[in-house]
A and B are shown apart, each in its own frame.
Chain A
Amino acid sequence: GAGVSQSPSNKVTEKGKDVELRCDPISGHTALYWYRQSLGQGLEFLIYFQGNSAPDKSGLPSDRFSAERTGGSVSTLTIQRTQQEDSAVYLCASSSGQGVAFFGQGTRLTVV
């Protein structure tokens, strides 16, 4: 596609359920990032994929969070046993290595 696509746009889930958030990067982009943004706050780094290298998972807040990137393209961020503090906008971005990062519109996750 022309830009970074994230789905769903909005997700409401019950506390304790698992959720999967999807990111479809710009075709050919080797780098993919996930960030979390709480209401009115800055961007918190979660995880970074670069080509075939081992991902930088240093930002994942707990072992309930995991992400994978299949075939160097689509990425899925999984949150297990969701908690209310997981409520936030989850932003995905992709770039061509050292290029500019382009962002998707994000997934707003609400845990009730």
Chain B
Amino acid sequence: AQTVTQSQPEMSVQEAETVTLSCTYDTSESDYYLFWYKQPPSRQMILVIRQEAYKQQNATENRFSVNFQKAAKSFSLKISDSQLGDAAMYFCAYRRSYGNKLVFGAGTILRVKS
């Protein structure tokens, strides 16, 4: 079974600084998707970024980028120029390519200090 591990229960970052959230996963598949979701106190899950495993180039969305290391099964999220609105719980998620459930990590609480 696929598993997703987020080893950092909580992280803090100063406003305008950069922070990296870690995620590792375990799978025997070669084709899959990886996601980072953000959940603010409103509890609405919001997609931050997505990566297809067959793509070697790391995904980027504005201040958010990933470091995807397929061989190491690592998928970290880097947030640059952190803002107060980035404070939330962040979840890493995995899904096999051919229509299957999303498997989530336990989440990392990100606190942003002003």
Residues of A participating in the B interface, judged by any CB pair closer than 8 Å: 31, 33, 35, 37, 41-43, 45, 48, 50, 56, 59, 89, 91, 93, 97-98, 100-103, 105-106
The residue that A106 contacts in the complex, of B43, B47, B100, with Cβ under 8 A, is B43
**Count the B residues whose beta carbon is within 8 Å of the partner chain — how many?**
22
Q: Is the CB of A105 within 8 A of B42?
A: yes
Majority SS of interface residues in chain B? loop
- Set of chain B residues within 8 Å of A35, measured between Cβ atoms: 104
Q: 25 A-B contacts, Cβ less than 8 Å apart?
A: A31-B99, A33-B101, A33-B102, A41-B106, A41-B107, A42-B105, A43-B91, A48-B101, A56-B100, A56-B101, A59-B101, A89-B43, A91-B43, A91-B45, A93-B102, A97-B99, A98-B33, A98-B97, A101-B35, A101-B102, A103-B37, A103-B45, A103-B46, A105-B42, A105-B44
Q: Besides the contacts A41-B106, A103-B37, A105-B44, what 13 more A-B pairs have beta carbons closer than 8 Å?
A: A42-B91, A42-B104, A42-B107, A50-B100, A56-B101, A91-B45, A93-B45, A98-B33, A100-B35, A101-B47, A102-B47, A103-B46, A105-B42
Q: Is the CB of B98 within 8 A of A98?
A: yes
